[in-house]
Homo-oligomer: A and B are copies of this chain.
């Protein structure tokens, strides 16, 4: 590509409403332009990277035996009513009526339509397994779209859906997709981690998120540096501390704690170790009763774990002040298990504590030296909290670490959730209809670009992996319009690279060198060749990788083999 025939539009400053690095850089480098909140034009430069991501995803999906289809953006409400999602999904599902007042949605995913395909087309077990995928425009009417393509409203997603005879066979499909995702993210050139994720009501252990590692990521990823254990923070298990609970050593003592409402207040007021305190949280039980949950003062309640406990109202609902007051005779800030007659669930760590500090169920009063059994009932014990750095890994192979990540893919075993809701069956070998065992597998295609940038940037701009750079190589001739020698050398290299199948752009716009280099550093083309009169007189060109701090002098005859070697 010649830059003069392409469209390069860079900005010195990002628009004021851009929140994060990738969004700012994509706007500045002319990858995207905003049309409405969370809705963007894909400009020529950005579209090149987007198409490269799509191609890699498509190739690996095909390789893994998945079959491409395209399901419509606009889908009739009827199918969505069969699964209850038409009414059950929130305002993120964009609903509208056509000119005949019939209800439609714009697809955020396509479980309903693909399950309808399966029940119409896959009549026999002989047709299984099948995995249909599409790379298609999606829309989610986010309440507050932000972070550019990371949380936009209109976006491109690859969504695949597998159909199998049995849960066991679905496991094979799941593993095939898991392996394909690893190949995809390897080829994209990104540092990522596949982490176990919550399966919600489906159950089982077949749910993994693919997380691109980036300090700016929204998600916390828990992993063990000594093993392959990795899970998202919702799922990561907090194991019980080793050893038995110590015997009570202190007396239960009521302390007047005026104005103390939080654990931080308490620690400051009593000048104690936060690890000696216990936080009391009250949630609603299924019967509308108040259930007391206890986590150590420095720990955080994990709501996903809490919600899964039998007898707890779903979705997890914090108790109202009125319910708390009725159940405890005190207000939040001074609650605790002593004297409480309702259900008490202690986190595994709390269950091992002795002589702890806790609310006294009287406003502005706490107890020190509290102990289970002696001062209150022995609680139920459950894993109730988020893990923290240094916790023991559940596989016993060391201590947990935490990274930030950006979720770009998800593989998920659906079981018969959708096939039962839509009565989608096939005839099995025994002649009887059975519901399909399904899995769904998503990749946020547009999101990947944002994640790639969050992982690879510096103060000059983006730094693209070769495989998804808008151009792998940029030739920057200094004085292309003035020097015959520069023009001839640049054009020759350009021709040779094109002939070798390299995705190269030659910047023949005639920009000043400073502006030209700044553009390409912003755009983040990984390999740059600079050609100038001064160097040519010495028989030299310059090669610089976008991560290199300095250029390397290269003889003209060596540049092509050098580039081909770098591009692998």
- A: residues with CB less than 8 A from B are 5-7, 9, 33, 35-36, 39-44, 47, 50, 65, 67-76, 79, 91-92, 94, 96-99, 102, 104, 106, 113, 116-117, 120-121, 130, 132, 137, 139, 141, 143, 153-154
Contact = CB atoms under 8 A, between A and B. Distances in A.
Contacts of A98: 94, 141, 153
Contacts of A121: 7, 9, 33
A42 B70 contact: yes
Contacts of A141: 98-99
Nearest to A76: B36
Q: Interface SS of chain A: helix, strand, loop or mixed?
A: mixed
Given A42-B71, A99-B143, 17 more contacts: A5-B65, A7-B132, A33-B121, A35-B113, A36-B72, A36-B102, A36-B104, A39-B75, A41-B69, A41-B70, A41-B72, A41-B113, A42-B70, A44-B132, A72-B154, A73-B73, A92-B99
Nearest to A68: B47
A40 B72 contact: yes
A250 to B, nearest CB: 55
A248 to B, nearest CB: 55
B39 A72 contact: yes
Contacts of A70: 41-42, 47, 50
Contacts of A47: 68-70
Nearest to A127: B7
A117 B41 contact: yes
Contacts of A73: 73, 106, 137, 139, 154
6 contacts: A33-B117, A47-B69, A73-B106, A73-B137, A94-B99, A96-B96
By CB atoms of chain B within 10 A, which of A47, A50, A73, A102 has the most?
A: A73
A35 B78 CA distance: 10
A35 B67 contact: no
A71 B35 contact: yes
A80 to B, nearest CB: 12
A154 B407 CA distance: 31
Which 5 A-B residue pairs are closest in the complex by CB-CB distance? A96-B96, A42-B70, A36-B76, A91-B99, A39-B72
Nearest to A30: B121
A42 B69 contact: yes
Contact of A35 (B41, B72, B106, B132): B72
Could you say how many copies of this chain the assembly holds?
A: 2
B74 A106 contact: yes
A137 to B, nearest CB: 5
A35 B91 CA distance: 23
B71 A44 contact: no
Contact of A68 (B9, B44, B65, B116): B44
A50 B134 CA distance: 14
A68 B47 CA distance: 8
A79 B34 CA distance: 13
B35 A75 contact: yes
A7 B116 CA distance: 16
Contacts of A76: 35-36, 39
A391 to B, nearest CB: 40
Contacts of A99: 91-92, 94, 141, 143
A131 to B, nearest CB: 10
Contact of A74 (B7, B65, B92, B154): B154
A33 B153 contact: no
A170 to B, nearest CB: 18
A143 B79 CA distance: 22
A96 B36 CA distance: 14
Contacts of A91: 99
Contacts of A79: 35
A7 B126 CA distance: 12
Contacts of A113: 35, 41
A28 to B, nearest CB: 14
Nearest to A51: B68
A387 B5 CA distance: 44
A493 B489 CA distance: 46
B43 A69 contact: yes
A152 to B, nearest CB: 9
Contacts of A65: 5
Contacts of A33: 117, 120-121
A546 to B, nearest CB: 24
Nearest to A43: B69
Nearest to A36: B76
Nearest to A143: B99
Nearest to A48: B68
Contacts of A44: 67-69, 132
By CB atoms of chain B within 10 A, which of A36, A42, A76 has the most?
A: A36
Contacts of A68: 44, 47
A67 B6 contact: yes
A130 B7 contact: yes
A523 to B, nearest CB: 16
A237 to B, nearest CB: 37
A99 B92 CA distance: 8
A137 B132 CA distance: 20
A81 to B, nearest CB: 13
A222 to B, nearest CB: 34
A71 to B, nearest CB: 5
A326 to B, nearest CB: 36
